[in-house]
Chains A and B, each alone.
Chain A
């Protein structure tokens, strides 16, 4: 069982970004945002895939919800999925 303190990994002074899930009331959490170009659609195109990882206990991200990170607003592309023993979750974002 993974028992480490996740705040070390999701430290906004390091790699994480302060995010807010735009619900009522808003839910602040820290997440690690990343993006990478991937080949898709039978190899015809490359698209930029944007991913976020966050401590599962901090927020539940559902498809269609909005999050803000700095000046940017993102829409959650699909419900979050637990990874790494369930303590972390991951999903994909698109520009809102």
Chain B
């Protein structure tokens, strides 16, 4: 079996944000699900954070350097009687942790500018008591071009 070690910036960004959310004292007791591949069973009273990576797009290429934009989705879920309010309140904390982490990454590793895109609330309290508040984050970074030229 071949083994691979990823050093891709997108993995490092994703891992840094997910790890920061898992460690954040403000979110103690709240499970953080990384790239969930199936729906998670939600029970009454549950809080949950999901982190999912999204497109990593090439935006510009100059010489041996390429600029890319990586989109990260971060969601806060609450299953409470006031699910919309509670999911939103937790998402404020989640946003702070994500923003802090991405700012640190920018400072330490030269990850470029960071843009918080739309925040989309999703209510499902017609059928159950539950709500999701989801944010998209665009992280711009640059890396050396990977060359697949003839040897």
Contact = CB atoms under 8 A, between A and B. Distances in A.
A94 interface: yes
A46 B126 contact: no
Given A45-B48, A45-B77, A40 B127 contact: yes
A47 B79 contact: yes
A45 B122 CA distance: 12
Interface size range of chain A in the complex: 10 to 19
A37 B41 CA distance: 9
A40 B50 CA distance: 14
A38 to B, nearest CB: 7
A42 B42 contact: no
Interface residues of B, number: 23
A40 B130 contact: yes
B24 to A, nearest CB: 20
Given A37-B41, A47-B42, A95-B44, A42 B122 contact: yes
Interface of A: 37-49, 77-78, 92, 94-95
Give 7 nearest A-B pairs by CB, closest first.
A47-B128, A45-B42, A41-B132, A40-B124, A46-B39, A49-B127, A39-B39
